[in-house]
Amino acid sequence: MRLGKSVTDPWYPSQRRAGAVTQCLSLRTPNALRDDSGTRNRIVFAVALLCLMLTLLPLPQSWSQSPAPPSLEADVARLLQQLKDPDPALRTSAAFTLSNIGAPAAAAMPALIVVLQSDKDRSVREAAAFTLGGIGAPALPTLIAILKSDKDKDARRGAAYALGRIGAAAVPPLIAALQSDEDASVRAQAGGSLGKIGAPAAAAVPTLMAALQNDKQIDVRTSAADALGRIGTLALPALMAILQSDKDKEARSFAAHALGRMGAAAAPAIPALMAALQSHEDRHVREAAASALGGIGAPALPPLLAVLQNNKQIDVRTFAADALGHIGAPAVPALIAALQSDKQIDVRGRAALALGRMGAGNEQAIMALRNACSDANGFVRACAGEALKEMQVREGGTKRP
């Protein structure tokens, strides 16, 4: 039985390697040993252990660095030729297919860089950027150079996107692009890529804060806020400061949304968000604060319940009802109470829609919504009917018309 090579050969398919191990485990012992159960068990255990060790041992360096097999080299060559095809759809397909080949696709890096810098079709350039990001460290120096100095904004934006796939090593050039690139789309992509990198991009928090507060382009500010939310709690103090004291209402709204993206980790911001919900003069800031509280989840449940039950402002109660719908089942009794008894139809309708997010398994919510379908107010009836449809969609039932 040829198990040694099949288990350890680096080009042997993983499924067949697993099969080889199974074959090891099913070895039969010689007839002379079948009557000695203790000896037989020890031999089977030893063979099984040996096979398991063979699958776990690291491959020799000379094996792991072996050249790509001929079939992969042929595939790469074919795809490189396809990158020159007159049809942009075929060029796009070739670039994306290269991303699935893995390390051997590094041979295509020079051609992909040419595509990124000079192809006339945007989809082809975006596909090349995606694949270059997947190649990783070997592409890093060239991508940084493109981001810093290429005259074409689309090439710089593609480089910024690709760098976001590479990770922490790409943070410094992305910070520089966010700070100084003359094109807003490049700055926005740099911010988005920093957010994709996440917590390892913590060094970018001051630059992202500055972009959120000062950049004149809405896309850049939105991207910066989203990135701060993705980086996580390291950005929490800065976001709370913007929410509480920034003079720009859009900056406050963006900060609130970023806090909501952090989930329960943003619980320390609940008092500041509650203050914004109940007292900020701008409706959009109040709505963003409520959305963030819904994103934080269970820690925000008690103050939101209090607002829904007691606040005198219609829109504040409406926003609270919507936020409670994102928190889930613990909010159902309060939402039912608002649906049945709030004096404002806007609040009742929003409570109905919030109940629709609970899923078809919540009988209490279903019963309340069915009853509301007979409400005297047409708006409430319509919201209740829409909520019941939403429940079916969430449970994989009837599709929306």
pLDDT at 99: 85
Q: Where are the domains of the chain?
A: 3-59
> What does the angle CA 362 – CA 364 – CA 368 come to, to the nearest 5 degrees?
120
**Residue 41 CB neighbour total at 10 angstroms:** 11
pLDDT at 178: 98
Mean pLDDT across 225-238? 91
pLDDT at 69: 56
Stretch among 2-11, 197-206, 240-249 having the lowest mean pLDDT: 2-11
Is 191 a residue whose pLDDT tops 70? yes
CA gap 135, 124 in Å, rounded: 17
Is 94 a residue whose pLDDT tops 50? yes
pLDDT in tens, 323-340: 999 999 999 999 999 999
CA gap 307, 324 in Å, rounded: 11
pLDDT in tens, 17-29: 334 333 433 333 3
pTM over 0.85: no
Is 273 a residue whose pLDDT tops 90? yes
Is 400 a residue whose pLDDT tops 60? no
Mean pLDDT across 50-61? 43
pLDDT above 70: percentage of residues in the chain: 80
Is 181 a residue whose pLDDT tops 80? yes
**Reported confidence tier of residue 232, pLDDT bands at 50, 70, 90:** confident
